[in-house]
Structure 1
């Protein structure tokens, strides 16, 4: 019996016995077990591919060795090569099928895990919310709003000035009177305004004099205001 035959036989017997025991104990394979079995099958078929490829090379060498000298032996080698190539093609197709099934199973297993985790998270969220009452939350938010209004009223009451209240217009009028008094006192301290001459001056000189006098008065007023302000 060849090594490959022993490999297939041993794998088949162990797999069938293991499968039967698992089926009896659990009622069916789990996704992890199925994926593991498919990977083992892929590994086994890959090894068989390597074996067939080596056998094909050997048959090609045999055919070349005999050539036209021994056509019968050369043709037999080529026939064996063809059969080996056919098996290799079958294995390629089988591996593609197994790979597709394994990927589909892995995706299904992933989706199952995702759904289980989502369900677990949903249960946890439900447990968190089960002690929450929307009516109580609304009442609590209303209480918070009311307490904020009370706090605002308290702040306004604390910041409100104590004592008598005064009319601002009256205070401004009094301030204007004080300023006028200071202005008059300042003018008195400076000797008052200069006297007006009794004789009439020419009209041109009179206009110049009036302008000069007005300018002097304005400058005096500005000086007095500046001294009063300081």
Structure 2
């Protein structure tokens, strides 16, 4: 997919192969020139030795001819040296261009991958995933709250408090009404008795003593004796 998005993979492959072939060709040519240079250096050295020999033999003309050959060999060696420098420069440029191309290809591939990922990841999908996560978190929160509630009979606390208030109000009302009822009974108006009717004795009826009072009376009687 990435190679399709990049654009022209065949052209890129051909360019890379051409660069590799060019570097190989330059390397081979450089090696050939170096071998030729060594051969020419040996030939120049030979002509130098021959010139020395002819000079010792007093053969001036032959010595000059050897020096001329030596100069020609040295000129060719210089040309080969310059050619080698050009080949080295070309190889450096090609290697730099190859590195730049590979870097650009890598960047292009990364950009295509990023574009593909962004295309596959839509903002609506992100919002949907976040909504699902929030919903799951809310459900989990409700479950935890439900599990944390105590297990009971389920009576409504408000109803229980209202009933308790009614009981307290009734008890308070009973306490307030009790002394009013007692005073009313003690201060009741006397009953009118018709003439000729004998009124019953108003002597108070002796109250029944308690057991404690009986015991106290018995004790006082014993002490009197």
Superposition TM-score, scaled by structure 2 size:
0.54
Flag structure 1 segments of 5+ consecutive residues without an equivalent: 1-25, 165-230
**Which residues of 2 match residues 153-168 of structure 1 at below 5 A?**
153-163=142-152
User: How far did residue 98 of structure 1 move?
Assistant: 0.9
State the 1:115 CA deviation. 1.8
Decide which of 26, 47, 50 is 1:59's aligned counterpart: 47
Instruction: Report what 2:140 is aligned to.
Output: 151
Q: Counterpart of 1:208?
A: none
Matched, 1:93 2:78: no
**Whose Rg is larger?**
2
Task: Say if 2:18 is the partner of 1:30.
Answer: yes
User: Is 2:89 the partner of 1:105?
Assistant: no
| Residues matched between the structures, number | 138
Looking at structure 2, the residues matched to 128 and 99 of structure 1 have their Cα atoms a distance apart, in angstroms, of 43
Of 5, 18, 43 in structure 1, the residue corresponding to residue 31 of structure 2 is: 43
CA shift, 1:102, in A, is: 1.2
The structure, 1 or 2, with the larger RCO (C-alpha pairs under 8 Å, 6+ apart) is: 2
Identify the residue that residue 124 of structure 2 maps to in structure 1. 135
Gaps of 5+ in 2: 1-13, 154-225
Structure 1 position 31, deviation (Å): 2.0
CA deviation string 1:186-226 (max 9, x = no partner): xxxxxxxxxxxxxxxxxxxxxxxxxxxxxxxxxxxxxxxxx
- Aligned-residue Cα RMSD (Å) equals 2.5
Q: Which runs of 4+ in 1 moved over 4 A?
A: none
Q: In structure 2, how many angstroms separate the alpha carbons of the residues matched to 1:37 and 1:65?
A: 42
State the match for 2:212 in structure 1.
Answer: none
